[in-house]
Structure 1
Amino acid sequence: MVLQRDDHRGQAVLGFDLESVAYLGSDEGRLALDEVAELPLTAASIVADIASVRARFADRAGVLVETVRLRRKAADKLPGTADWLFTDEALQQATAGAVAAHRARRLAGERVHDATCSIGTELAALADRADYVVGSDLDPVRLAMARHNLDRGGARVPLLRADALRPVTRDTVVLLDPARRSGGRRTFDPRAYSPPLDAVLDTYAGRGFVVKCAPGVDFAAVRRLGFAGEIEIVSHGGGVREACLWSAGLAPAGVTRRASILDRNEDLTDADPEDCPVAPAGRWIVDPDGAVVRAGLVRHYAARHGLWQLDPEIAYLSGDRLPDGVRGFEVLEQVAYQEKRLRQALAAHDAGALEILVRGVDVDPDALRRRLKARGGTALSVVVTRLGSGTASRATAFLCRPSR
């Protein structure tokens, strides 16, 4: 049977019980899912589609429609999961396929216990790389879904119901992905995770562990809890996806921060060189990947790629050539940031569509774009930033042509 509750917005949310998971995994359920998958289930058709499914499958309609809907949502995030089972919350929390594969590569050859395995996303990635894999979770429905999902993928992984704060394995690297919502709302305090990060660190002190955290986790707060290993920031698809804590024994000596840019197969650490000058803008301005900025490795990135900083406190970089595959902004003109002067400069360049990037200056890019009212035919980028400090500080705007 399908269960129903309300989320924090008061909207109906479908849940699953063990009986509905068993039905969906049966031959009868698979055939029903194939039939429902033929329906459009769009905003325009959903009422009629649900009526049709209800007439055909009675009280199974809810789990069938929800499963088809979730599989469609999962297609981009989790390739190769067309026949998986999900709950809505589990899909939202699931690690993106590319990120899970990256973590599995780092854990290749290890014995790994995923102690918050949920529906099995991390286990599926680990199965072909780790020396041994076992999964556990407190939620019996998610465990049943994980068993279905892993079996469908051909991965034979032992699964058991267990509390992540009550260790059930020895001599394994423990992987944990604490829930980061409380009362339906996202929490930024690592002590409010479920299980709490401080309890996780106490429970697995002296063992190898990997803990997935929110991208915006406070590094200082994590250190105050006693964590002394590597904090990795991972980006994929143009956005920062997560922070990940690697216990000291799983990180190279001397590494406490890492930025992993999966789209370019590039990573940097705080053990890399960081010799980087500060100088006026050259031909290009580069806005480093969010993982680099979040990990505090802007100078390291600049040193690797022959770039320099425009200001020692600002993340924008400059150089006379772009790093391979990196989008940049070719400087056409530099003006003091005053809206009247900027509007005049934009008019002189026949600017129309504007992309506005801001660092270090209290400017709302969308509001500024509306006020500038550029009407020309040339698409340009405007980089607004602060240069200098103290009384010498000044807001500056760069009119640029984007590389792509």
Structure 2
Amino acid sequence: MDRAELVELLSPEGLRLLDGLPEWDSKADIVRTVADLRRQGHSAGLVAAVLSQAKLRSRARAKFGEFAAHMLFTEAGLEQATRLNVAALHAGRFARAGIDHVADLGCGIGGDALALAAVELEVTAAEADEVTAAIAAYNLTPFPKAEVLHLPAEEVPLGGIGGAWLDPARRTTSGGTTRRIADAADYSPSLDFAFGLAERMPVGVKLGPGTDRDVIPAGSEAQWVSVDGDVVELAVWQGAVARPGVGRAALVIRGDGAAELTAPADSEDAPVGPLGDYLYEPDGAVIRARLIGDLARANGAWMLSDGIAYLTADAAVDSPFARGFRVLDRLPADERQLRQALAARRIGTLEIKKRGVDVDPAALRTRLKLRGDESATIVLTREEGRHVALLVERI
């Protein structure tokens, strides 16, 4: 979205048209919709702007729920925006630390600033991109204690501000295509600036969950967060917003519930042993936080093979930190023999899970030539270093 498009969108005509559109339907005849709106006298630029926003609002419901219907977005801003339930956890950190004025530096479309303002904190949000800053200002209009500055993070005056939240730009948009920035050194603002603020005030920094762990400053709290099985962020906390004695944390959110595994540092892996009656797949946040060993010891489990994130045990365990499978049978690891074994069981629908083996599940599924009316799940992995194929069922 460019400046001219935003001006049209924010006009009374533009906002009325946007709010009056029916809910976005990806199967609708868009050409006909455009033609209908043009016949009503709306300019081509305005029609394109409102339809783009309607599509983004529809996608944004997964992150912002009902609030999305009253917000504006950019493509890159929505991609990087924090889910509202996770942003509320960020805001809670600052509130519990007694910080009543927070700078959101690099606020994007304002997702985290919304959560901070919603718990009645004063918020100074800043965004270097002019269009994105204007969108954030629109989204924060209901909160009188929140202001948005069109400034780079490095130029924001921080006098009187008690803490800072930063979500460095990790995506860039060019020619209508949004792509991830691969090198953390190219983030904006830079990580040196973000973590350097901790010398002045408590700081939280949001990073991608796969960020190189070498960038995490010593003595900080690193918390990986997953939502409904998807690891969504690494939050690095410093100063009063970091918890004493917590260096690594895995926060697992499923539906309305949450559970957390914490430790002072990476945990030592559990011993390796033979396959038990049950197989466990740790949540991605636990894997990223390197707390698999602690999870194993807490549940009487052991590693199935060195360096592979599967645990095994002889007892069924109900844990929010892992998905469990009952092991039904060992199948041949050889592909031809595996195909014969599945055919003998009349398996026509197959879920393939894998760790520690170089195989494309979709391509393998085609080569297995599945036929039959039964369904199954197999796990391709290693047991004490050896390739295995396991027939399992979820528990």
Structure 1 partner of 2:39: 55
Structure 2 partner of 1:10: none
CA offset at residue 21 of structure 1? Answer: 5.0
Q: 2:259, 2:58 → 1: CA distance?
A: 30
Task: Determine if contact 2:104/2:164 at 8 Å carries over to the other structure.
Answer: yes
Structure 2 partner of 1:7: none
Mapping of 1:6-155 within 5 angstroms? Answer: 19-23=7-11, 26=12, 28-35=13-20, 37-38=21-22, 42=26, 44-56=28-40, 57-58=42-43, 59-79=45-65, 80-109=67-96, 110-111=99-100, 112-129=102-119, 131-152=121-142, 154=143
**Could you say if the C-alpha distance between residues 173 and 269 of structure 1 is closer, same or farther in structure 2, counting changes exceeding 3 Å?**
same
Q: 1:212, 1:16 → 2: CA distance?
A: 31
**Could you say if the C-alpha distance between residues 16 and 259 of structure 1 is closer, same or farther in structure 2, counting changes exceeding 3 Å?**
farther
Q: 1:200, 1:303 → 2: CA distance?
A: 36
Question: Residue 314 in 1 paired to residue 303 in 2?
Answer: no
Partner SS state of residue 188, structure 2:
coil
Task: Determine if contact 1:288/1:315 at 8 Å carries over to the other structure.
Answer: yes
Structure 2 partner of 1:210: 204
Structure 1 partner of 2:233: 242
Q: 1:265, 1:40 → 2: CA distance?
A: 31
Structure 1 partner of 2:372: 376
CA offset at residue 130 of structure 1? Answer: 6.0
Q: 1:106, 1:187 → 2: CA distance?
A: 28
CA offset at residue 192 of structure 1? Answer: 0.9
Alignment-mate amino acid for residue 7 of structure 2: E
Q: 2:129, 2:391 → 1: CA distance?
A: 54
Identical positions, percent: 37
Alignment-mate amino acid for residue 375 of structure 1: R
List alignment gaps of at least 5 residues for structure 1.
4-14
Alignment-mate amino acid for residue 120 of structure 1: G
Structure 1 partner of 2:282: 288
Aligned length: 379
Q: 1:16, 1:304 → 2: CA distance?
A: 58
Task: Determine if contact 1:276/1:309 at 8 Å carries over to the other structure.
Answer: yes
TM-score by length of 2: 0.86
Structure 1 partner of 2:328: 332
CA offset at residue 38 of structure 1? Answer: 2.9
Q: 2:51, 2:306 → 1: CA distance?
A: 54
TM-score by length of 1: 0.84
**Could you say if the C-alpha distance between residues 40 and 76 of structure 1 is closer, same or farther in structure 2, counting changes exceeding 3 Å?**
closer
- State the Cα deviation string for residues 234-266 of structure 1 (Å, max 9, x = none): 111221111121125432233222211111411
Q: 1:274, 1:114 → 2: CA distance?
A: 36
Q: 2:350, 2:16 → 1: CA distance?
A: 51
Q: 2:123, 2:51 → 1: CA distance?
A: 33
Structure 2 partner of 1:8: none
Q: 2:242, 2:197 → 1: CA distance?
A: 20
CA offset at residue 397 of structure 1? Answer: 1.4
Q: 1:297, 1:48 → 2: CA distance?
A: 54
Structure 2 partner of 1:251: 242
Structure 1 partner of 2:148: 159
**Could you say if the C-alpha distance between residues 270 and 130 of structure 1 is closer, same or farther in structure 2, counting changes exceeding 3 Å?**
farther
Task: Determine if contact 2:23/2:54 at 8 Å carries over to the other structure.
Answer: no
Structure 2 partner of 1:9: none
Question: Residue 394 in 1 paired to residue 379 in 2?
Answer: no
Alignment-mate amino acid for residue 101 of structure 1: A
Structure 1 partner of 2:183: 189
Task: Determine if contact 2:382/2:388 at 8 Å carries over to the other structure.
Answer: yes
Q: 1:324, 1:386 → 2: CA distance?
A: 23
- State the Cα deviation string for residues 13-51 of structure 1 (Å, max 9, x = none): xx665633541xx4x44432233x138664551112112
Structure 1 partner of 2:353: 357
Q: 1:60, 1:346 → 2: CA distance?
A: 56
Q: 1:64, 1:166 → 2: CA distance?
A: 33
Task: Determine if contact 1:165/1:200 at 8 Å carries over to the other structure.
Answer: no
RMSD: 2.7
Q: 1:127, 1:203 → 2: CA distance?
A: 21
Task: Determine if contact 1:284/1:329 at 8 Å carries over to the other structure.
Answer: yes
Partner SS state of residue 209, structure 2:
coil
